[in-house]
Amino acid sequence: MFSRIIAGTMKWGTWGSKFDAATYERMIKDCISMGVTTFDHADIYGDYTTEEEFGKVLKQQAGLRQQMQIISKCGIRKVSVNRPQNIIKSYNTSYNYILESVETSLENLGTDYLDCLLIHRPDPLLDADEVAKAFTVLKEQGKVLHFGVSNFKRWQVDLLTSRFKLEVNQVECSLLHLDPFVDGTLDQCQQHKIIPMAWSPLGAGNIFLLEDDDERNKRILAVASILAQKYNSLADTILFSWLLTHPSGILPVLGTTKSDRLRNAVAATEIKLEREEWFMLWRASTGKEVA
């Protein structure tokens, strides 16, 4: 359904590297050539501009769409010159808003379907029946193939799954953010066969910051370097392999704008850490042996 490494597009546009059309095209083709065929979007990225910029390439390059899977998210209403009707940042997961958001994303991306739609964040006013109704209509119309959520807690996932089958939960997950491993999130994913996607899989790059007082990062990188030598690899590749080793089937979502970093992540799919090696990195992160 999705590639094992996912390209996150949040920083491709005005929120990051400000790709021009040629760079969008080159990056898309680089990703596909290395087997990174799934692209993670959200309607708000680039203040509601990144999907359209990405979509211009698809409209001009016949056949690219058939080589990829597109994820998008909706539900956050952001104050922006591109959405003058939004007077305050808020959430909207109503039936009509979900349908309208999908129609806009489809138009901007130049496609007639999304491979996956996620509700971007938990909404205090979320009506599970309305969300399920919107998902059902979109599925019946063939406009969305798969559905899920992003940043949802276990009980919030339970609520929606009582109305509609969810297939994805995209959460922050890395050696610097271990919560999903211990708060039941990944257990729930195994229980209900939900695919966990990990955003910020290297802690937004902070894992490589070696301040004098940052003993945690030093421990993690020391172990990763030892394992990198064993597997003739790189430290970041080992850290991606650590996530991929988990039995829930974690799919890392990389927010990088560099093809080389995506390539390092792809190399992790060829490495299978031993159990004790996995726990070496766990111990490095927590600073203590398991109980």
Residue 14: domain span: 6-166
Could you give the number of structural domains in the chain?
1
pLDDT for position 24: 97
Q: What is the pLDDT of residue 59?
A: 96
Q: Is residue 84 part of a domain?
A: yes
| Residue 116 phi, psi dihedral angles, 5° rounding | -155, 140
Active site residue 45: yes
Q: Cα–Cα distance between 18 and 1 in angstroms, integer?
A: 29
CATH number at residue 44: 3.20.20.100
Structural domain includes residue 159:
yes
- pLDDT value of residue 209: 75
Q: Is 102 contained in some domain?
A: yes
Does 254 fall in a domain? no
Measured torsion, CA atoms of residues 85, 124, 168, 290, in degrees rounded to the nearest 10: 130
The pLDDT of residue 151 is: 96
- Angle at which helices 50-60 and 95-109 pack, to 10 degrees? 50
In a domain, 256, yes or no: no
Q: What is the block-wise mean pLDDT of the chain (291 residues), using blocks of 10 residues? A: 97 97 97 98 98 97 95 98 96 98 98 98 98 98 98 97 98 97 98 97 81 83 97 97 98 96 97 98 97 92
Choice among 45, 48, 95, 231 that is catalytic: 45
CA distance 98 to 117: 10
Examine residue 255 and state whether it is found in any structural domain, yes or no: no
Residues contacting 266, CB < 8 A, separation 6+: 4, 5, 34, 35, 36
Output the pTM of the full model: 0.96
Q: Is residue 108 part of a domain?
A: yes
Helix axes 259-267, 21-33, angle to 10 degrees: 10
Within 10 angstroms of residue 62's Cβ, the number of other Cβ atoms is 8
